[in-house]
Amino acid sequence: MKIVARDIPPRSLWTLEQAGVHPLLAQLYAARGVQSMQELDDGLARLIPPGEMLSLGAAAQLLADAIASDKKLCIVADYDCDGATACAVALRGLRMLGARHVDYIVPDRVVDGYGLTAPISQRVKDSGADVLITVDNGIASFEGVATARALGLQVLVTDHHLPASVNGQIVLPEADVIVNPNQPGCTFASKSIAGVGVMFYVLLALRAELRARGHFSVRPEPVEGGASTGSARTGEPRLDVLLPLVALGTVADVVRLDANNRRLVAQGLKRVRALAMPAGLASLFVAAGRSAPVATTFDFGFALGPRINAAGRLSDMTLGIECLLTDDPARADELAKTLDGINRERREIEGNMREQAFAIAESLFDDEEAPPPAICVFDPDFHEGVVGIVASRIKDKLHRPTFVFAASAAPGREHELKGSGRSIAGFHLRDALDLVAKRYPGVLLRFGGHAMAAGCTIAEENFDAFEQGLNEVAQEWLDAATLTRRLDTDGPLKPEYRRIELVDVLHKEVWGQGFAPPTFSEEVEVVSQRLVGEKHLALKLKHQGQPVDGIWFGHTEPLPARVKLAFRLDADAWNGVRRVRFLVEAAEL
């Protein structure tokens, strides 16, 4: 492990300090590429205008026409937290904007697979729908879209995933309208917006279209006898009430928190802290043992998000979506407790599977050898619902692009393997799959994803060929520097910043993928150390001559008397007194 301090552009740091930003925050922001105060303005007025997203106007017109004609709309969701929140945002928002007939279908991970398939399109048609709307999927659903159109459905695809390519050319499904910032010709600056964010933008555009049509204009208010003595508005809804759901889906999908995404998350967090959120979110905070008034992005990513995701991994994502849709607190509590129970089951399955997967991965190389450039793991007993989580754990431990496969549980597809992959910086996983598909025709039955996460389906007999192909690409693309684990930090922590009030300030900020939470690093003295709970290392440290407690979760190996640590600031409470504590992330030994 190489622990490195980030560079701090002096001009950006000076600009932020001159604007009155606290010196520590100015340092952190500058090191993350912030150059002006405008980038820190999280006001809704600072959001990228909807007009910059390609085809958003056409989507708004399609939906406004459908509402005016009282058509039935059906949303086809995805079975992760981004898809669930996008579905809830779509249903809540469309109903707020006047749609009277809106329903949804969410694919089953095992039976249906990913995205809009032909059978799902048929189910949408059989439900009596006129318009099919995808959220967080559809950009590569050629057959599903074609089937829906052939059945007479209008199709609106809203997605954020990368489109497919054939012979180097981007190809898109023939939907009526496609809204995706990653489609060719779209100049929308926030390419990393989550699926739920795309749907939120669709609703913003729809509201503007309805406003232009006079949908919210003043109308005569009839009274008894047919006369009119006043006027009333249909009521232009405030879509900002949906931002807590947008924030949850954005953080849980681990998309890069660029300035636009940070604004969406910050606005959602403000409403959550003010307890202005759907009943289901409030119940999930209680079930997870977290406090909504002091909510953080950590709560979204590591407490609420996993509980929603667990439904799609082990059960039925309908549970997660219904939890986000209900306005009944008692029903919300019931669903949140169910999701919490499913998540506990998920953790148990993952724990057992993780140990088995680690053993397989470590058997691929000898103790004195470096791991291969890419890791591929399969066992017939693996559960396909948690392969992505386990791939992430192996990737973190071995610092290699990793795919974990499980046998498909779908009827008639018992000889297929479904894999989920996680990558390291410098290795674009979806592009790597595309190259494997070209070099080994027929090996990849289906694939898709992003730079850091992707999924694919292969025949069981082709596992060795896939492993060989992925390792070939990794061997070519990854050099020794990329394969060396590196942790970027914010360097030493000044002793005057080791204060409880600054811990609270840092916790309130929006941190996440691409805008890393503050991690400091420097050499400290280890005064004493002991194991707690048999798997965590509790530490008594001296930081610049002053005592401070530390904890390294999930680490059991003792540390030397002096060591360079990477750590985050946290607060620990003892006898009602809160004290600063270091959460150790890594050590350079």
Q: The domain that contains 419 carries what CATH number?
A: 3.10.310.30
pLDDT of residue 51 exceeding 70, the answer is yes
- 311 within a domain of the structure (yes/no): yes
Does one domain contain both 293 and 413? no
Contacts of 423 (CB under 8 A, 6+ apart): 395, 401, 402, 429, 432, 451, 452, 453, 454
CA distances from 303 to 29, 284, 297, 308, 415 (A): 26, 8, 10, 9, 35
As for how many domains the chain has, the answer is 3
The pLDDT of residue 556: 94
- 36 within a domain of the structure (yes/no): no
pLDDT of residue 588 exceeding 70, the answer is yes
Which of 284, 302, 337 terminates a domain? The answer is: 337
Which of 431, 457, 483 terminates a domain? The answer is: 483
Paired sense of beta strands 520-532 and 562-574, if any:
antiparallel
- 170 within a domain of the structure (yes/no): yes
Does one domain contain both 193 and 322? yes
Does one domain contain both 72 and 183? yes
Does one domain contain both 60 and 172? yes
Mean pLDDT, rounded, for 551-559: 95
Mean pLDDT, rounded, for 219-232: 46
Three-state SS letters, 104-172: EECCCCCCCCCCCCHHHHHHHHHCCCCEEEEECCCCCCHHHHHHHHHCCCEEEEECCCCCEEECCEEEC
CA angle 210, 215, 218 (to 5 degrees): 140
471-509 tens-digit pLDDT: 999 999 999 989 988 999 999 999 999 999 999 999 999
- 566 within a domain of the structure (yes/no): yes
- Give the span between the Cα atoms of 178 and 202, in whole angstroms: 11
The pLDDT of residue 217: 75
- Give the span between the Cα atoms of 144 and 118, in whole angstroms: 4
6-21 tens-digit pLDDT: 999 999 999 999 999 9
Domain ranges, residue 426: 364-483
124-141 tens-digit pLDDT: 999 999 999 999 999 999
Does one domain contain both 91 and 134? yes
Confidence band (pLDDT; 50, 70, 90) for 219? low
Does one domain contain both 581 and 475? no
- 411 within a domain of the structure (yes/no): yes
> Is this structure's pTM higher than 0.85?
yes
Does one domain contain both 191 and 269? yes
Confidence band (pLDDT; 50, 70, 90) for 233? very low
pLDDT of residue 426 exceeding 80, the answer is yes
* CATH (domain of 526): 2.40.50.460
Mean pLDDT, rounded, for 149-163: 96
Which of 432, 449, 483 terminates a domain? The answer is: 483
Does one domain contain both 251 and 267? yes
- 39 within a domain of the structure (yes/no): no
- Percent of the chain with pLDDT strictly greater than 70: 97
Does one domain contain both 262 and 399? no
* CATH (domain of 143): 3.90.1640.30
Does one domain contain both 178 and 67? yes
437-459 tens-digit pLDDT: 999 999 999 998 888 889 999 99
Does one domain contain both 431 and 319? no
- 1 within a domain of the structure (yes/no): no
- Give the span between the Cα atoms of 135 and 201, in whole angstroms: 12
- 403 within a domain of the structure (yes/no): yes
Average pLDDT across the chain, whole number: 94
Confidence band (pLDDT; 50, 70, 90) for 165? confident
Does one domain contain both 463 and 498? no
